Chain A
Amino acid sequence: MKLSTLLASAALAIGLAGGAYADDKTKVGFVFVGPVGDGGWTYEHNQGRLAVEAEFGDKVETVFVENVAEGPDSERVMTQMALDGADLIFTTSFGYMDPTINVAAKFPNVKFEHATGYKRADNVSTYSARFYEGRAIQGHIAGKMTKSNIIGYIGSFPIPEVIRGINSAYIHAKKVNPDVEFKIVWAYTWFDPAKEADAAKVLIEQGADVVLQHTDSTAPQAAAQEAGNVITFGQASDMAQYAPMPRVSSIIDDWAPYYVARTKAVMDGTWTSTDTWDGIGAGMVGIGDITDAVPADVKAEALALKASIADGSYHPFTGPLKKQDGSDFLADGETADDGTLAGMNFYVEGITGDIPN
């Protein structure tokens, strides 16, 4: 209690001082889980930060701290940013959820935005992207392109977000290629080039000629390039340095429009606590250039699929679909609601193997 009073009065003092000096710069803080040069997840969040700076120029000041461990360190970094006068703080990893809520309770006048979590407060919004929409397009291309009919998938952690992606990719690969089989390796990391390379090699040895990844490094791309005749997709970032082969397309997280919009809302005083889950339509999920390694007709189909998801006429989880155990998931024409998607903890019918527990 005592600390929060102290912090609140300090925040108030800063607010007053800020007013006195007519410092109307909006200060936006970013807490990053990896290094900004990771080429994937954190890199894209930092691109979003740079977009905020480019958009508002002198009117904003952005600060960031990278490589912040989840837990008490992140709580301290957020508190420090709030003490230093941040008006808006983006916390960009799932593990920052409870720390964000804790710090937000001490600084009611600072707005917080937590990526990929589910806990909100009056001054805490959550936001995430519908990556599974991109996975549908990946699955389509993968199903069409595979010759061995074995598609390898590097999973990070068996959480709903990742399982959703596997299901979405599988459904759309199966649709265009009934013989397709998924082999899934769990790397238990978001970013570890050595482990990811090993996982990719194992999958390739098992006959996979398409490797999909839910981890952030380019190591699987390099492994595929070395093996030859294996295709991959960029993850989180475009990874265009591996185009046209093995990288034939990519799912790109584009946080810039959201970060710009939320910063604007703070400036205008219109910010409210919301839960945003945007996909291809809103531009939060981008599909990287499909290279010429993909035949023109497949490319055209993929782009048509993208367009139908973007305009909302098609939902990647549309029935009839069954769960892995054979029970009904979605009836003919029914689409999955967001609650089901958010907590997805089962494979769809046809995927072999169990979700690790």
Chain B
Amino acid sequence: MIRLEKRPQASQAFSWAAPVLAVLATMFFGGLLFAALGKDPLASITTIFWQPLFGDFAFYYRPQLLIKGAPLVLIAIGLSLGFKAGIWNIGAEGQYIMGAIFGAAAGLAFYPTESVLIFPFMILAGALGGWIWAMIPAILKVKFGTNEILVSLMLVYVAEQFLASMALGLLKNPEGFGFPGSRNLQQYGSAHNAELIAGSGMHWGVVAALIAVIFAYVLLARHRLGFAIRVTGEAPRAAKFSGVNPTRLVLFCMGMSGLLAGLAGMFEVAGPAGQVTIDFNVGYGFTAIIVAFLGRLHPFGILLAGGLMALTYIGGDIAQSQLGLPAAAIQVFQGMLLFFLLAFDLFTNYRLRMGRAEVA
């Protein structure tokens, strides 16, 4: 008989092996799925994982990985702080939208004035937008004890309505023939989050994501606040005794994740996306939750996980076009990644035992 036995101590090795095993299992079962759809499994997997990195047109796809990965990493870093402390901000998508709206509005308010001060101002506005949106569930939680998971999630839908209203009303391009969508910030020099080196994919959002990774690492490893976050997640009672102020912690973690999500939205709208449109948000805020867990809530893990997730998106689109794989199959493939990760995670705290349990 096979049964699960709790490990006396969480296995450090398994904690790091789980993501690798999850990727391998996803490749294997994903391959089976693709085979069942009548596609060559090996070709499918190599198209998804190999082509963007080392294929004929890698010179184009590698920069795209940065563009796709940067918002994921930026948001996931913020989320991981809260997740570590057991504070669950599920509404990063809404904060991302608000950051984009605030940032774009701050820039467009000055159109067509050109000034080097506009872009920094937009960055501040974007961060503020995300922060405010995250403070709503945070304050409701500390004041009234509401559940931050529900409130932050519901606020995503409010933000989406707000986005539609902005794209159709206040921020609508006056020269857009009545069509929805703002002016294109890519065509407004002072507000454009352009590539720092043309063709590299490196824009300010990528820089911000890398800074956030380092900042989060230092915070968690070296700072008192990082200690408070870790101890609250691992042993809430001990945290209380050691003088951690839970209210401040909630406000900090929610605020920080909102701020970073807002920044991600701002960099996206000012750069790769260019416009505030009705369908501006494409789910980065939700995917970042997967990225945060795939990266073990560790800053450098998140960096790798963000890259991997971006790879499956870009490779997935290539596979759709070159091999005719349906979009749904790619989504199942991405879903498998989280599923297997959670499954293998079980073995961090438990191990399999063969044979009969001894009678105590």
Given A63-B322, A83-B57, A159-B178, A357:B279 Cβ within 8 A: no
Q: Which residue of A lies closest to B169 (CB)?
A: A357
Apart from A77-B317, A95-B279, list 10 A-B contacts with CB within 8 A: A7-B60, A10-B59, A71-B275, A71-B282, A77-B321, A80-B57, A80-B60, A98-B186, A157-B164, A345-B178
Taken together as a complex, chains A and B put the C-alpha atoms of A80 and B186 apart, in Å, by: 21
Q: Do B184 and A98 touch (CB < 8 A)?
A: yes
Taken together as a complex, chains A and B put the C-alpha atoms of A2 and B196 apart, in Å, by: 12
Q: CB-CB contacts of A71-94 with B at 8 A, as 1s and 0s?
A: 111011101110110000000001
Q: Which residues of A contact B60 (CB under 8 A)?
A: 3, 6-7, 10, 79-80, 83
Q: Which residues of B contact A188 (CB under 8 A)?
A: 161, 164, 278
Taken together as a complex, chains A and B put the C-alpha atoms of A98 and B59 apart, in Å, by: 23
Q: Which residues of B contact A67 (CB under 8 A)?
A: 327
Q: Which residues of A contact B178 (CB under 8 A)?
A: 159-160, 343-345
Which A residues contact B (CB, under 8 angstroms)?
1-3, 6-7, 10, 29, 35-36, 63-73, 75-77, 79-81, 83-84, 94-95, 98, 118, 157-160, 188, 342-345, 356-357
Q: Do B273 and A72 touch (CB < 8 A)?
A: yes
Q: Which residue of B lies closest to A69 (CB)?
A: B282
Which B residues contact A (CB, under 8 angstroms)?
56-57, 59-61, 63-64, 67-68, 161, 164, 168-169, 177-181, 184, 186, 198-199, 268, 272-275, 277-280, 282, 313-314, 317-318, 320-322, 324, 326-328
Q: Which residue of B lies closest to A62 (CB)?
A: B324
Q: Which residues of A contact B68 (CB under 8 A)?
A: 72-73, 76
Taken together as a complex, chains A and B put the C-alpha atoms of A350 and B123 apart, in Å, by: 47
Q: Which residues of B contact A1 (CB under 8 A)?
A: 198
Q: Which residues of B contact A72 (CB under 8 A)?
A: 67-68, 268, 272-273
Interface contacts (Cβ under 8 Å), in number, total 109
Q: Do B278 and A157 touch (CB < 8 A)?
A: yes
With both chains docked as a complex, state the minimum distance between the C-beta of A32 and any C-beta of chain B, in angstroms: 9
Q: Do B184 and A63 touch (CB < 8 A)?
A: no
Q: Do B177 and A343 touch (CB < 8 A)?
A: yes
With both chains docked as a complex, state the minimum distance between the C-beta of A324 and any C-beta of chain B, in angstroms: 15
Q: Can you list 21 contacts pairing A with B, beta carbon distance less than 8 Å?
A: A1-B198, A2-B198, A10-B57, A35-B326, A63-B324, A66-B320, A66-B326, A68-B317, A70-B277, A71-B279, A71-B282, A72-B273, A73-B68, A73-B282, A76-B314, A80-B61, A95-B278, A98-B186, A118-B177, A188-B161, A343-B178
With both chains docked as a complex, state the minimum distance between the C-beta of A92 and any C-beta of chain B, in angstroms: 14
Q: Which residues of B contact A65 (CB under 8 A)?
A: 317, 320-321, 327
Q: Do A356 and B198 touch (CB < 8 A)?
A: no
4 closest A-B pairs by CB: A3-B199, A72-B272, A69-B282, A67-B327
Cβ-defined partner of A157 (8 Å) among B168, B268, B280: B168
With both chains docked as a complex, state the minimum distance between the C-beta of A249 and any C-beta of chain B, in angstroms: 29
Cβ-defined partner of B321 (8 Å) among A29, A36, A73, A75: A29
With both chains docked as a complex, state the minimum distance between the C-beta of A144 and any C-beta of chain B, in angstroms: 32
Cβ-defined partner of A80 (8 Å) among B63, B272, B280, B317: B317
With both chains docked as a complex, state the minimum distance between the C-beta of A81 and any C-beta of chain B, in angstroms: 6
Q: Which residues of A contact B59 (CB under 8 A)?
A: 6, 10
Taken together as a complex, chains A and B put the C-alpha atoms of A72 and B278 apart, in Å, by: 14
Taken together as a complex, chains A and B put the C-alpha atoms of A351 and B322 apart, in Å, by: 49
Taken together as a complex, chains A and B put the C-alpha atoms of A65 and B278 apart, in Å, by: 21
Taken together as a complex, chains A and B put the C-alpha atoms of A63 and B319 apart, in Å, by: 11
With both chains docked as a complex, state the minimum distance between the C-beta of A155 and any C-beta of chain B, in angstroms: 12
Taken together as a complex, chains A and B put the C-alpha atoms of A4 and B314 apart, in Å, by: 20
Q: Which residues of B contact A29 (CB under 8 A)?
A: 321
Taken together as a complex, chains A and B put the C-alpha atoms of A98 and B187 apart, in Å, by: 11
Taken together as a complex, chains A and B put the C-alpha atoms of A253 and B68 apart, in Å, by: 34
Taken together as a complex, chains A and B put the C-alpha atoms of A36 and B327 apart, in Å, by: 9
Q: Which residues of B contact A98 (CB under 8 A)?
A: 184, 186, 274-275
Given A3-B199, A188-B164, A160:B67 Cβ within 8 A: no
Q: Which residues of B contact A356 (CB under 8 A)?
A: 168-169
Q: Which residues of A contact B280 (CB under 8 A)?
A: 71
Given A3-B198, A67-B327, A95:B277 Cβ within 8 A: yes
Q: Which residue of B lies closest to A83 (CB)?
A: B57
Taken together as a complex, chains A and B put the C-alpha atoms of A341 and B281 apart, in Å, by: 30
Given A2-B198, A2-B199, A157:B177 Cβ within 8 A: no
Q: Do B64 and A76 touch (CB < 8 A)?
A: yes
Q: Do A76 and B317 touch (CB < 8 A)?
A: yes
With both chains docked as a complex, state the minimum distance between the C-beta of A12 and any C-beta of chain B, in angstroms: 14
With both chains docked as a complex, state the minimum distance between the C-beta of B52 and any C-beta of chain A, in angstroms: 10
